[in-house]
Structure 1
Amino acid sequence: MMSKIFILIFISLITLNSNCNKISWNPTTKLKWSDFKGSIPEEKSLKTAVTFVQIEIEGEIYEDEIPNIQIVTYFLKDKSWTIVNDKETLVHEQLHFDIAELYARQIRKEFKILVQEECSNFKLYEKIYQEKVLQHGIMQREYDSKVYFNEKEQKQWQEKIAKELEELKEYEYISDNE
């Protein structure tokens, strides 16, 4: 009995520790420089900060053969780093996080359609996820290339992403913890 309790506590600590490294996207919580805890690479090129985000599938629970999947956007503290602390760069890095949430909402929207069609073919869900994650990476690179040292472009991207997030607001992830 004692070993089962120890294993349960150990697993709980692993889960707790990994969750401490993650910040799930939330419309009211913005990134702070203190969230950037990653090691600065020796070869960082021209970058002054990096935001590492993930769009994760959680759940994979089946209800009547239909997947019940949650898509969550995370900022990873231990992989994100900075050598600056100015407001403009933080706004730029926040938008990387927001772009990830935009693609997560697109995935949630398409998954909802599949669920409504009672699709039990997990390969279709996986295909949508992979395509959207690929598109997400392309948009992240495009964002960086267009706004680099360009305040006007940065503002336009902020407005564009805010508008698109609002259009997909019904697909915003609401955590059970909130």
Structure 2
Amino acid sequence: MKKIISITFLLIAIQANAQNTIEWDGKYQLQLSDFQSSATQIGNVKINSIHTASSLDFAFQMSNIEFMFTKNFNSKVTSTFKRDAASIISIDTNTANYLVNFAQYEFDLSELYARKLRKEIYDQKGTFSDASFLQVLYDAVQKQYAEEHAIASKTTDLGQNEKKLLEIQTDILKRIQEYPDFCKSCKPPKKKS
């Protein structure tokens, strides 16, 4: 009986977490309702702030033998948005909607850099590679991602310059298409010898 109760709680926890986390799929568009942190507040404030909770994550667990013979790490790199950690503080609903649009840009940007990381790993991973090179690649991609995000924050005034945000977002979506073999579920073609 204890096992059944434990399994039930585990399944509930997994389902709750799955509803909280959105994986980038190119179709889902963020909405104001996705910002579920208790810090979210629209109106009765004098500032505008956003914490999008989009992230580029890389994790794997495998034996040395598995690592040696694994070339495709696409499924180990994810671009996610965590609803319960995302917050918007905005002076009004109109401004909040600008911030949601900026959050969508950031979510798309995280997928672009996830694909770049997947490609870098695929291109640089040799049969006898040591796992330590992965941290160097991840750090370099994270740095580029943070820099591009900071520039967009500044040039679009966190999405309030709608025209500039649309330009930047269109560019990001085009750049994502330049990596068709590096989506999370994709299998890159084998290199020709």
C-alpha deviations, 1:7-42, integer Å up to 9, x for none? Answer: 444444333332221100011111122111012279
2:80 aligned partner, one-letter code:
Y
Change beyond 3 A, Cα 1:71–1:150: same
Alignment TM-score, normalising by the size of structure 1? 0.80
Which ranges of structure 1 fall in alignment gaps of 5 or more residues?
none
C-alpha deviations, 1:126-160, integer Å up to 9, x for none? Answer: 21112212221222121101111323321221222
Alignment identity in percent?
22
Q: Show the counterpart of 1:139.
A: 148
* RMSD (CA atoms): 2.7
Residue 108 in structure 1 maps to residue 114 in structure 2:
no
Q: Which moved more, 1:86-95 or 1:8-17?
A: 8-17
1:156 aligned partner, one-letter code:
E
The 8 Å contact of residues 37 and 81 in structure 1, kept in 2 or not, is answered as yes
Which ranges of structure 2 fall in alignment gaps of 5 or more residues?
187-193
Change beyond 3 A, Cα 1:110–1:41: same
Residue 160 in structure 1 maps to residue 171 in structure 2:
yes
Higher relative contact order (CA 8 A, sep 6+): 2
Q: Show the counterpart of 1:65.
A: 68
Distance 2:131 2:46 in 1: 40
Which one has a larger percent strand, Structure 1 or Structure 2? 1
Alignment TM-score, normalising by the size of structure 2? 0.75
Structure index of larger Rg: 2
2:79 aligned partner, one-letter code:
T
SS class of match (2:129) = coil
Distance 1:9 1:114 in 2: 43
SS class of match (1:65) = helix
5 Å matches for 1:21-170?
21-40=20-39, 46-62=47-63, 63=66, 65-67=68-70, 69=73, 70-82=76-88, 83=90, 85-86=93-94, 87-115=97-125, 117-148=126-157, 149-170=160-181
Aligned length: 172
